[in-house]
Structure 1
Amino acid sequence: MMHQIISLGLSFAAAILFNLKAVAVASSVGNWGEALGRLLFGPVVFFFLAHTIIYGLVRAVRGKPKLASYAETKLNYIAAALTILGVMGSAASRI
């Protein structure tokens, strides 16, 4: 569980760091949906989608007994890295 909490924390920190200006502009004009989507829902959905796909593929290749549980596996860090890259790409596309 700790691996997943750390990974989500890193993903949220990156989302806040790279989207802070865009979120401030969106929320100042009343577009709270975009602001919450950029900071909360987008990274969370992308993280769990990436982690589920990676976990499923590794579990299919290695087998269930050789893999830790969904929340305790170190594959969370791979999903966090993909999420951070996605957040960075999203921020860079607006420049």
Structure 2
Amino acid sequence: MTATATKAPPTKARKSPPRAAAETSETEFLHEAELRRYTAAEVVAKQLLPYKSEVVLLRKCYARQVIHHGDGNGITFTLDDIRRENARTVVEPIAA
């Protein structure tokens, strides 16, 4: 084609909207959060489980009353452990 055949100026390639980048980083964050291990102190500080004391939480873990991971030197929690523990302790109302 020659310059006289097209009168319109060349167009630039469209950039992807910034929202797509934010969604990508959010999914990356969620994926990393699934792999993260929380200590008992972090679980109590962030109130992820209904315990107000790290000592009480650790005692329940040692007694195998709370779902957790025993990773070599210490007790850790994944998001799956926290979800399962919250589901285990849920109280549903009695249907009237």
Give the structure with the higher percent strand: 2
Higher relative contact order (CA 8 A, sep 6+): 1
TM-score (norm 1): 0.31
